[in-house]
Structure 1
Amino acid sequence: MSQSPILTLVSRSYCHLCQEMEVALRPLLAEFDIDLEVLDVDADPTLEALYDELVPVLLHDGEELCHYFLDDRKVRDYLGEIR
Structure 2
Amino acid sequence: MATVYLGLGSNLGNRQLNLQRAIRLLNENSIITEKISSFVETNPVGGPKQNKFINAVVKAQTEHSPQKLLILVKSIEKR
Q: TM-score, normalising length from structure 2?
A: 0.38
Q: TM-score, normalising length from structure 1?
A: 0.37
Higher helix proportion (structure 1 or 2): 1
> Which of structures 1 and 2 has the bigger CA Rg?
2
